[in-house]
Amino acid sequence: MHLTLKVWRQAGPTAPGRFESYDVPDASPDMSFLELLDVVNEELLAEGKEPIAFDHDCREGICGSCSMMINGQAHGPERGTATCQLHLRKLEHRGVREVTVEPWRAAAFPIIKDLVVDRTAFDRIIEAGGYITAPTGSAPDANLIPVPKAAAEASMDAAACIGCGACVAACPNGAAQLFTSAKLSHLNLLPQGQAERWSRTVAMVETMETFFGSCTNHQECEAACPKEISIDFIALMNRDYVKAQLKQRRLAGQTFP
Ligand code: SF4
Ligand code: FES
């Protein structure tokens, strides 16, 4: 298939950016989108030009690093699919012949180079969450801590978040509620996560608010998420945050980080 790519090129964080066009006359529909960028980069290197910088690691939808806007949609048009899992046949079926590729556009994710952005703000939220005090060591008996099946499954769904940042990039407010709620919920739903539930919730939500915008229920995050994380987790996070405040745990002698 014949594709024309318009790719955002930016030499560094403060350099001016611009779109550059690349023609790929014989792309295989079975290529992934990252393999398409590999093909373009091989041509650029052969011509002695700077290749397009983009993040990637696992190339199987696990690491969350292959973050880019494809024709204005985070990770492209296929629902529940990370860029590395987006095959060109999915674009061919939609009659796409021109593709615009941009980095995430969000104030909290400054551009480092071309399609690579700095997602350190996500790390600050995780860091604020601290650790859980559930003992580690040898594997406990499977039934020692009974976990209701519904809670285990919901926790597992939340733990599917790969930290890609598509939810932030898709949100008109640049909000990180979906990411933060997923990271909170996979612990807050489990018995092992109860000891620090309230302090963790306050610390992560308040750290999130220092970097990201506010949620106004556009729901674009859920639509863009390659792991189809539900916005129900945002409701759970909001409820836990209010509860943590109402409990006045500071006065009860529990210190917050
Ligand atoms: S919630 Fe979804 S879109 Fe947001 S970081 Fe996690 S996996 Fe990516
Ligand atoms: S490269 Fe790891 S999720 Fe895409």
- What pLDDT, in 10s, does the model give residues 117-136? 999 999 999 999 988 887 77
Residues in contact with 222: Cβ distance below 8 Å, sequence separation at least 6, in sequence order = 167, 178, 228, 229, 230, 231
How far lies 163's CA from each of 1, 4, 88, 200, in Å?
32, 29, 24, 18
* pLDDT average, residue stretch 168-184: 98
- What is the mean predicted confidence (pLDDT) over 41-46? 98
Pick from 66, 179, 231 the residue to mutate for probing ligand 1's pocket: most ligand atoms within 8 Å of its CB: 179
Number of domains within the chain: 2
Would residue 81 count as lying in a domain?
Answer: yes
Instruction: State which residues form the domain around 240.
Output: 120-254
Same domain, 157 and 241: yes
Number of Cβ within 10 Å of residue 200's Cβ equals 24
Enter the pTM of the model.
Answer: 0.93
Looking at the fold, whether 97 and 125 belong to one and the same domain comes out as no
Atom of ligand 1 nearest to the CA of 64: 8
Is residue 110 one of the residues assigned to a domain?
no
pLDDT confidence tier of residue 188, bands split at 50, 70 and 90: very high
- The ligand placed nearest to the CA atom of residue 33 is 2
- How many CB atoms within 10 Å of residue 114? 24
50 lines ligand 2 (CB under 6 A): no
Nearest C-alpha to atom 2 of ligand 1 is from which residue? 225
Q: How far apart are CA 104 and CA 70, in angstroms?
A: 10
Q: In this structure, which amino acid lies at residue 32?
A: S
Atom index in ligand 2 nearest the CA of residue 226 equals 3
Residue nearest to atom 7 of ligand 1 (CA): 161
We report the CATH number of the domain holding residue 220 as 1.10.1060.10
